[in-house]
Structure 1
Amino acid sequence: MSRWSQYDTDDERLPDGMQRIGYDADTQTYTFRDTDGSIWESAPGNQYGQLHRVSSTLPRYGDDAHDATEPPHEASDDPPTSWRHDMMPLLNWFLLVGLFLLFIFWFISGTPKRVSPTTCPDHSSPYKIKSGDSCWAIAEEHGVTPESLLQHNQGLDCDKLPVGGTVCIPGV
């Protein structure tokens, strides 16, 4: 006989004396009764597996001490959870997304610092940086060395020349 069989019954799967007494289609939980009358429930969606005790010893359904039309339920001592508690993981997610977006907007809206002076000292002339310019091309165009161009423009980054900015060309 194979390991899995479609003919398994409650007698083969449940402990001795345990019997299935109900099924709730809304919560998809099975209800079982033990030999001492304790009520057990399965995890939602599982017919067999881990069971947890719902109530301790109660009279059986047909007994006079209990109404047979009402299933036995025990009131839970746990307070109901609020919607705030249920939404807390989403709050953390939205907080992270919001911080990420703030960082992106701050990064995009930041204007490049203009390290070039607006007025050039004596014996130098201003040059407005155009798109595609490099320190080497500017120095060669005006007949100076790139080193002297960098000495007259302290803090100038040749890798990030600001288009529209001004550099001072040392006089020859």
Structure 2
Amino acid sequence: MGRWTDQDSDEARLPAGMERIGYDSDTGRYYFRDGSGSVWQGAQGAQFSEMTRVSARDGGSSSSYPPNEDVEAAPRRADGYQALATDANGRYLTTNASAYRTLFPFFLLIGVVMLLVWRLILSPGLSAPKNPCSSDATGYLVQPGDSCWEISHAHGLSLDDFKKLNKKVNCDALMPGTTVCLPNQPPDHHV
């Protein structure tokens, strides 16, 4: 706790009996009420400054803000209740369309990220796999449990011919889903 934190509250800075009751953001003025009900305003742009009386309480009538001043803090009841703003027909003003327009870029960014996640993680198989084989060979998709010897033997190739056709394939770590090349016409000799 700082050395002067007891001086940060309204009670410590305002004269006895004064309370802050509102702020007008258009003019940058704070409004205060004293113990007798008179309304005071501060200097423009200052939170605490020399105050000038705006209206005085006359014989039991309630104080009001000066005419032609748009004070954004409406007077409150003693229990702190403040009524919601209404239009000329008495309907509550609760929607703010500009708030949705402000959030639109955020939701657009979230949508683009979700599409990228779906495209890259959830649906990589939708794009047609490139055929690494030449025009005189066809691709074969390796199944679980297949080995280079089993694939070459099942298609009538020697293991050496299979390895010559598939130079980049590592037979020791053959993974299911890998595409290997097999000749269109099997050779005349069988293993």
Q: TM-score range by the shorter chain?
A: 0.3 to 0.5
Relative to the length of structure 1, the TM-score reads 0.46
Relative to the length of structure 2, the TM-score reads 0.43
